[in-house]
Structure 1
């Protein structure tokens, strides 16, 4: 059985110093997640569709729009968690402080 992890808290200065790093990593994460989603959707979409349906595109059914949104949300959330966690760990290695609360 795993031992409970010690909660790490960040100092106010570490949180402030991490903000620009977090912002840049979030932007990069969004771009990466968008590219991953496009590739995944191309492979799982029925027919020759290259782009996912948007909620205001009437030629797609509600089910297809919801499935695309579900896939997109799962990919974005996963990529964001990986990038945020990796950025925080790298920041901690460099500064010795955990940037989170």
Structure 2
């Protein structure tokens, strides 16, 4: 395993945690715009419709994927600028 890949591991973990927090905040704001409610439905919330639950899951998944890819790609690009090598 390359040294740059090993050195990037802790950075990758930190970026993963950061992307989760960012995505959660973005999703909460997006859900308020979509449904006008503060909390997104949970899959086990019997008071919510299938439509609401599946819509929330789809929106949340899309947001988390885009934020994660953006943060990871930015971290890899920054690592290359600092070290001269791509971390993967």
Q: Do they superpose with TM above 0.5? A: yes
Structure 1 residue runs of 5 or longer lacking an equivalent are 1-10
Task: Give TM-score, length-normalised by structure 1.
Answer: 0.84
User: What is residue 34 of structure 2 aligned with on the other side?
Assistant: 44
More helix by share: 2
User: What is residue 57 of structure 1 aligned with on the other side?
Assistant: 45
- 1:25-63 CA distances to partner (integer Å, 9 max, x unpaired)? 110010000000000000111xx4210000010000111
Q: 3-state SS of the aligned residue for 1:56?
A: coil
RMSD of aligned Cα (Å): 1.0
Structure 2 residue runs of 5 or longer lacking an equivalent are none
Task: Give TM-score, length-normalised by structure 2.
Answer: 0.96
Aligned length: 88
